[in-house]
Chain A
Amino acid sequence: IAGITQAPTSQILAAGRRMTLRCTQDMRHNAMYWYRQDLGLGLRLIHYSNTAGTTGKGEVPDGYSVSRANTDDFPLTLASAVPSQTSVYFCASSRHASEGVYNEQFFGPGTRLTVL
């Protein structure tokens, strides 16, 4: 593994079903993030984690939950999917949440989710 991986690549899901999007990074980054991308809205932050064991809400957290049991993994769960959650989901990581000169975020390949 090099960088950030996400699974699945794409998924079609019936409304009301539960779904977990997986994200794994091998860069030993402390901070991880979940974004959704919708045309005309750019990327919007769903949830974030500054370090293993902690999580926080972003701009659009409703209907989503996350956990951060270890440094490498940051799964995003939709407890009961709705059509408005149809989107492309990107996981990202950065070395530190707030320290460091660059604090550059690196992005995974994305998961395209369709909720019918």
Chain B
Amino acid sequence: ELKVEQNPLFLSMQEGKNYTIYCNYSTTSDRLYWYRQDPGKSLESLFVLLSNGAVKQEGRLMASLDTKARLSTLHITAAVHDLSATYFCAVMGAGGTSYGKLTFGQGTILTVHP
């Protein structure tokens, strides 16, 4: 059974600082997704990572995937208040009955303050 764990679950950051959110998963997969959710809103796709070593960047966010370590990171550079949200990683199952389905991490609630 595929399990996905994020840490930290809560992150309070000061504006201008850097930090990393980690996403570990338990079984083989080569597709990992990062989503953002604002309070009371739906999920917005941020990144799709499709292979080992994949790195994608958008603004102050950079995501990477290490399939051998079963680890993805979401790095935040010089945080600003607008980045305050909940961030989810989701891993796509690669075999058996989990094939094609997403398993989500618990989410990381990020708060950026002055």
- On chain B, the residues within 8 Å of A44 by CB distance are 104
B9→A97 contact, CB < 8 A: no
B105→A90 contact, CB < 8 A: no
Q: How far is the CA of A77 from the CA of B102 in the complex (A)?
A: 21
B105→A109 contact, CB < 8 A: no
A40→B45 contact, CB < 8 A: no
A75 at the interface (CB under 8 A from B): no
A102→B48 contact, CB < 8 A: yes
Nearest CB to that of B92 among chain A residues?
A103
A-side interface residues, number (CB < 8 Å): 27
Q: How far is the CA of A44 from the CA of B33 in the complex (A)?
A: 15
A74 at the interface (CB under 8 A from B): no
Query: Could you say which interface size class chain B belongs to?
Result: 20 to 34
Cβ contact of B33, chosen from A59, A104, A110, cutoff 8 A: A104
- On chain A, the residues within 8 Å of B88 by CB distance are 42-43
- On chain A, the residues within 8 Å of B100 by CB distance are 31, 50, 96-98, 103
Q: How far is the CA of A40 from the CA of B107 in the complex (A)?
A: 7
Q: How far is the CA of A41 from the CA of B9 in the complex (A)?
A: 10
The minimal Cβ–Cβ distance linking B80 to chain A, given in whole angstroms, is 25
Interface flags for A102-114 (1: CB within 8 Å of B; 0: not) read 1111111110000
Contact A101 B106, CB 8 Å, known A90-B42, A107-B42? no
Q: How far is the CA of A65 from the CA of B99 in the complex (A)?
A: 21
Interface flags for A27-42 (1: CB within 8 Å of B; 0: not) read 0000101010000111
The minimal Cβ–Cβ distance linking B63 to chain A, given in whole angstroms, is 14
- On chain A, the residues within 8 Å of B90 by CB distance are 43
| In the complex, chain A residues 44-81 whose Cβ is within 8 Å of any chain B Cβ | 44-45, 48, 50, 58-59
* 18 residue pairs A–B, Cβ–Cβ below 8 Å: A33-B102, A40-B9, A40-B107, A41-B106, A42-B104, A42-B105, A42-B106, A44-B104, A48-B101, A58-B101, A59-B103, A90-B43, A102-B48, A103-B92, A104-B33, A104-B48, A106-B45, A109-B42
